[in-house]
A and B are shown apart, each in its own frame.
Chain A
Amino acid sequence: EVQLVESGGGLVQPGGSLRLSCAASGFIFSNYNMNWARQAPGKGLEWVSYISNTGSTTNYADSVKGRFTISRDNAKNSLYLQMNTLRDEDTAVYYCARDDYSSGWSKFDPWGQGTLVTVSS
């Protein structure tokens, strides 16, 4: 079964740092590009970051550029999101999602269950 499991969320003070992890199983992780997306409480989905299958290419939403860093360890089947200089507005459930190109078209499938990050003093 293809599965993504996020961890590392929690309560952090403004200006603090947190590192999220996403453990992948059930597929060849190194063959797939990966993404992080987030959802603030009661709000819609926001794409956060992208990383290519080799890790050579990364992209970020303007809202997190310069503060967040996406990375991966293909030997460990793991995706990461290092979040620095956190702000109140970064409070959200963070999801990792596989970029599934099996049909020849990119779509986010599957998604993990999400991990909650709360930025508050």
Chain B
Amino acid sequence: DIQMTQSPSSLFASVGDRVTITCRASHNINNFLNWYQQRPGKAPKVLVYAASNLQSGVPSRFSGSGSGTDFTLTISSLQPEDFATYYCQQSYSTLSSFGGGTKVEIK
């Protein structure tokens, strides 16, 4: 099975900050990597798919990069609605798996 490790598990940031979240896969997953945002009490929604492709309707301040085992989600200028928890997910295998999540909190 493929294990996904995210870091940090939480971070504190201010509106306007640049935020970077990393995700590491235990095996080479090429670019079969998705990022999701989850707000409290809500279902997750996809932000980035195939490592670097922005989902339709997602603001351009979100971007993804990486390939193989190391991936990054960047928020270029944090907005109030971005305070949420972010998860990476590998879609390389139909036995999918998620990272542990990164909670972005207000400083």
Contact = CB atoms under 8 A, between A and B. Distances in A.
Interface string B17-35: 0000000000000001010
A62 B3 CA distance: 13
A111 B45 contact: yes
Interface residues of B, number: 25
A interface secondary structure, majority:
strand
A45 B43 contact: no
Contacts of A118: none
Interface string B77-106: 000000001010101001111111100000
Interface of B: 1, 32, 34, 36, 38, 43-46, 49-50, 53, 55, 85, 87, 89, 91, 94-101
Interface of A: 33, 35, 37, 44-47, 50, 57, 59, 61-62, 95, 103, 105-114
27 contacts: A33-B94, A37-B98, A44-B85, A44-B98, A45-B36, A45-B87, A45-B98, A47-B89, A47-B95, A47-B97, A50-B96, A59-B95, A62-B1, A95-B43, A103-B49, A105-B50, A105-B91, A106-B34, A106-B91, A107-B55, A108-B89, A108-B96, A110-B45, A111-B44, A111-B45, A113-B43, A114-B43
